[in-house]
Chains A and B, each alone.
Chain A
């Protein structure tokens, strides 16, 4: 149950499996409402349903007919074979409903499915919003490593300001003929800040950190760093 209660936005992506299960159950509930017995209703619903979980439910129907298993056991088996905890949960619940009164179970299932649909429209609204912000996040995080690469290359110039403040003119000329080795702590930390920011910021909108962004930002950092350094060498 614990993974149902994740508190980050990562879990706000729509649950595809649950919507498939709800889709099947809505056909099932339709048949049940007509007063058909649950086993028959299952087969009719299977005839109407045509989604990605069809093979799973087909296997269930096979067990129902040839394996002579009761419907409750079949539904429980399907519930346990599903990955999403929510759909597992929902199937088990409907299974329990069937124990009581199949006709009324059909009507209550219908109302629950309607609630699920309303919820999923809200969830979809949020994930659409997140997708819209995704591009912005990526551009900004790549821009950060670009600017950081630029600053890393210009570190000697900025460090010069410090020496000027201390009126340490003698050292300034030696600073300008710099090798990156002198300022390695600053450059290394800029590099890691740049790539890790890009790596982690995608988690804000996509829900998981992405390795391609890490490599892309590393590439951008290195290119900007080298370009700015060579420009600096030409100018000075």
Chain B
């Protein structure tokens, strides 16, 4: 529920003038996530406009707070602009980030899912394939297939439902291959097809991160080893050597290291193997 808070904020603040503004400046990376999460009932314009509306409110609040504290006009304008800009950026990123995370999660198991479906299709029917995947505990996909099973039980065509699912699928591998699965008759060509491209995307992303790791590590290690030295010297020369405030640098430094580890060195892509 809490994870949907930014999105409900967007929905609440998407009032008319901002909605027009949002329609005018709507980034293209919002379109696919919005159509995928249709149960949220949000349009790209609403997110874009709502983010702008909320950022405007934040801007006004920050300005009024700064007026109470009577900071200089240039300072408070720039602080308020900065905070509003960051808020806008964060709100715009919520849905695309969730979409990307889900895409990579599905992509990690894409070839296992396709192989499972392939076997079930060769030995049984489309319904078997859906049932097999639904009962297999794949993250995200199994839940989606459970829902499809439910719809099939309500007298809808399983092929049509599967193709609909494939069309909206964030993972390119599943999108490409679910449709071709139905036209396969012999196993050898199917296995060849799977081998060609199933893990292509996720492997590429994984390999790219490995290549980037060198510079990422150098940056993180450099910052976390040289930062305390320079900071310490600076604080001492500025006469803080015997004030207890310098003790605050310890938690600051530790959180800096945690931040570097989580942001720069965190691996978004996983492989089964």
Residues of A near any B CB (own CB < 8 A): 1, 4-9, 11-12, 14-15, 18, 86, 89-90, 93, 96-97, 100-101, 104-105, 107-108, 111-112, 114-120, 122-123, 125-126, 129-130, 133, 136-137, 140-141, 143-144, 147-148, 151, 155, 158-159, 161-163, 166, 182-186, 188-190, 192-194, 196-197, 200-201, 203-205
Contact = CB atoms under 8 A, between A and B. Distances in A.
Given A1-B139, A205-B217, A197 B266 contact: no
Most buried by B among A136, A166, A182, A200: A200
A12 to B, nearest CB: 6
A204 B217 contact: yes
B237 A204 contact: no
Q: Is the interface of A mostly helix, strand, loop or mixed?
A: helix
B220 interface: yes
Nearest to A112: B115
Contacts of B250: 189, 192-193, 196
Interface in B140-176: none
B232 A190 contact: yes
Q: Is the interface of B mostly helix, strand, loop or mixed?
A: helix
A6 B221 contact: no
A110 B240 CA distance: 66
Most buried by B among A5, A90, A119, A194: A119
Contacts of A4: 139, 270
Interface in B90-127: 105, 111-112, 115-116, 118-120, 122-124
B132 interface: yes
Contacts of A183: 241-242
Given A122-B210, A123-B273, A204-B265, A193 B249 contact: yes
Given A137-B221, A151-B229, A204-B217, A186 B235 contact: yes
B253 interface: yes
A112 B109 CA distance: 11
A117 B191 contact: no
A225 B257 CA distance: 24
B195 A122 contact: no
A141 B229 CA distance: 12
Contacts of B238: 162
B48 interface: no
A15 to B, nearest CB: 7
A71 to B, nearest CB: 17
A113 to B, nearest CB: 10
Interface stretch (B15-23, B24-32, B55-63, B199-207): B199-207
B236 A155 contact: yes
Given A5-B105, A107-B187, A186 B242 contact: yes
B122 A104 contact: yes
A159 B124 CA distance: 81
Given A5-B270, A100-B120, A185-B246, A148 B228 contact: yes
Contacts of B249: 189, 193
Given A186-B241, A188-B247, A189-B249, A141 B225 contact: yes
B217 A111 contact: no
